[in-house]
Structure 1
Amino acid sequence: MNVDRNREFADKTVLVTGAGKGIGYASAILMAERGARVIALSRSQADLDALSHTIPCTTIAVDLADAAATLAAAQQALQAQPVDLLVNCAGIVELEPFLDTSIDSFDLTMAVNVRAAMIVAQECARCMIARSEGGAIVNVSSMAAQVGTPLHAAYCASKAALDAMTRVMAVELGVHGIRVNTVNPVVTMTPMAQKVWSEPAKSGPMLARIPLQRFVQPDEVARAIAYLLSRDSSMVNGVSLAVDGGFQAG
């Protein structure tokens, strides 16, 4: 059966966290282009305003480091309209050597990258189960979940935790027709990545390990996310999909 990509998600509502920049921004735009109704969460109201001038969307500004605020934002999103699809994309990175990684930065990274994803997914999954129509969730992880990266102790730990939580979600929610997967990109040229990988001395050795010899663009990750949300992946559940140009094959 041929699928009209322009109308692929025409009857669906997608909630995207971290929608103000990078992969989340690209995902929100792509899902809207393919017909979805978009609810966008981001810390920055200015970023959300910019997004809303690009696509029709409902926006909610929230600091996902705050558990109570995260729960309230998720509940507010679901009051607006039931959610069929979820993209947990919000994430932060604090660059510190392992021996100098502070408790505060570790806790903050885990709060945003893992705890917030859990809270939002719990609320969305409860809504999906109540409607008995299934659904799909994509948690945006990283190749850092499997590969140790200098100065990224907290970040690597958070992404490994996100992958592990995703597998549990896939097992427990699958019986309700809800599929849960991760995408695991190599370095993606988002504003967050620019501050880490803009220097040739840092980017050169990493690029040398990627057979395709370049970093990933946000829209390439967004297309992988759309695949995992779509009917094309109807039997894909509990996987970590590498979007890494062959990085892990080497």
Structure 2
Amino acid sequence: MTISLPITPSFDLFKKRALVSGASSGIGLACATTLASAGAHVTLIARREEKLLELKEALDQEGYQSDILVLDVTQLDALEQALNAREPYDIVLNSAGLAIHSPALDTQQADFDTVFDLNVKAAYFLFQFAARRLMEAQKPGSFISISSQMAHVGGIDRAVYCASKHAVEGFTKAMAIEWGKQNIRVNTICPTFIKTELTASTFADPEKLAWLQSNIKLDRVGEVEDLMGAVLYLASSASGMVTGTSLKVDGGWTAE
């Protein structure tokens, strides 16, 4: 009897339209590169036009397809108008985020609002606006948030940041439940500390670096390349049955 072998799902994103917020540097830049290298046409969103143009030029040189959208995603009216003026996106990846660290007793209301406006509110409505466009077109989609290992644990001086990332995990689950019948999948990627411009000061502090390494079971900090496989998996049909979950790329930090 001839065995009928299963077919491995494709990681190819050819003819897919992708949007990446926070694409101008660091993790967002790596995410955009991943999607473009797999064949997607990627819209790069950030506030810094010069950085976006540099990234687009680098992608162009590799033969990848992209365009830029200079936008502050916390400006929700402008964000909604921009998405409504474009064809629906098959893949939406939110990488825009920030952290303002302080002891919980010292948290300033303005700092709390700044973190939540970007990490939670902008991410929430980016997905809402994008999902509406997909539903109007009756198309499936994959939505991904770059969350954090701190969405699953606590950390000293990180009460506000932890709260914001826990909130992202919460709306991810709820959206996944609501939009499942429309075949719109919603997931998060939860990295450990990754070497970027934003984390340089942390890695330069010997005491903080020792704390990080004591918690990362693989005994090294993360590189942006460590996230690229997770991005491609969740963006592609290879993860077609995955929604409402978080993919931890944390070197074992949360394993305890």
TM range (shorter): over 0.9
* Match among 26, 29, 34 for residue 30 of structure 2: 26
Q: 1:23 to 1:74 in 2, by over 3 A?
A: farther
Contact conserved, 1:18 with 1:24, CA < 8 A, in 2? yes
* Match among 216, 228, 233 for residue 234 of structure 2: 228
TM-score in terms of structure 2 length:
0.91
Select the structure of larger CA radius of gyration.
Answer: 2
Structure 1 residue 201: Cα displacement: 0.9
Residues 1:17 and 2:21 aligned together? yes
Structure 1 residue 145: Cα displacement: 0.9
**CA–CA distance in 1 between the matches of 2:140 and 2:173?**
17
Structure 1 residue 197: Cα displacement: 3.1
**CA–CA distance in 1 between the matches of 2:221 and 2:121?**
28
Structure 1 residue 4: Cα displacement: 6.6
2:47 alignment partner in structure 1: 43
2:78 alignment partner in structure 1: 72
**CA–CA distance in 2 between the matches of 1:3 and 1:181?**
18
Instruction: Report % sequence identity.
Output: 34
- CA offsets per residue over residues 157-202 of structure 1, 9 Å max, x none? 1000000010001000111100000111111112112223321210
- CA offsets per residue over residues 58-103 of structure 1, 9 Å max, x none? 11122233xxx23323431452332111001100111211111100
Structure 1 residue 246: Cα displacement: 1.2
Give the alignment of 1:43-192 within 5 angstroms: 43-55=47-59, 56-65=65-74, 69-192=75-198
Contact conserved, 1:28 with 1:40, CA < 8 A, in 2? yes
TM-score in terms of structure 1 length:
0.93
Letter in 2 for 1:115: K
Three-state SS of the structure 2 residue aligned to 1:228 is: helix
Deviates more, 1:72-81 or 1:43-52: 72-81
**CA–CA distance in 1 between the matches of 2:156 and 2:39?**
40
**CA–CA distance in 1 between the matches of 2:174 and 2:167?**
11
RMSD between aligned residues: 1.5
5+ residue gaps, structure 2, are 1-6, 60-64
Structure 1 residue 121: Cα displacement: 0.6
5+ residue gaps, structure 1, are none
* Match among 226, 230, 240 for residue 246 of structure 2: 240
